[in-house]
Structure 1
Amino acid sequence: GSGLYTVTTTATGQPAIVTHYDALEREIRTGNQRFDGQWQFVDKTYNRKGQLEKVSLPFKGSSPSLWNTYAYDSYNRPTDLTEASGKTTTWSYNKLNTTETKNGIATTKTLDASGAL
């Protein structure tokens, strides 16, 4: 894998886990060795602001083909998640409310004046 450095985690009776990090110490690839001996990976990419932009679905081989993609507003809050399956989750914000819409179902969280849910 590529990256600035790699951390390998092993435990008795557990598959090995390898995590690759970039120069900004962000996780860019995680792999785990399956019980059949093959490796399975998940890749992550980041936008210019350092926000998580894409997370691959688990894959074997050298490069992923399916991604979940995130978008953010000018306040660095998540606004959209588009899954590889085509499902979407959106978030909208106003002063005291955050509304999440997932699979067509909206859930609104309201903060009180102190900022508590």
Structure 2
Amino acid sequence: MKQLLAELNDRISFMGSSKESAQSELENFHKENPDFLAILEREKVELQVEESKLSQFTFEEARIEAAVQKLMEMKESLVSQKSSAAEIIEEGKQKMDDLKSKHKKK
């Protein structure tokens, strides 16, 4: 138990000195870069602006993708209708050719 308490005390001392060391480094950094917080805030605002742009682009991309999908469906329908019309025309031409050949035989 005494050993555990000793280890715990050692850890607490180490953590205390680590905290003091980190705080000292932070203070030195702030002295070297007094406008750091202003720079950080400006970067934060710029990041928010870019995130907003990304959101708009994502929305616009989804809107365009939906429009493309709708156009593809319309195209498929049109191609199908065109194919049906071509078949009807071909059948009509065939009937006309058959009628002409029957008429010539008479």
- So what's the TM-score if we normalise by structure 2? 0.20
Kindly indicate which of the two structures has a greater share of residues assigned to helix.
2
Which protein shows a greater Rg?
Answer: 2
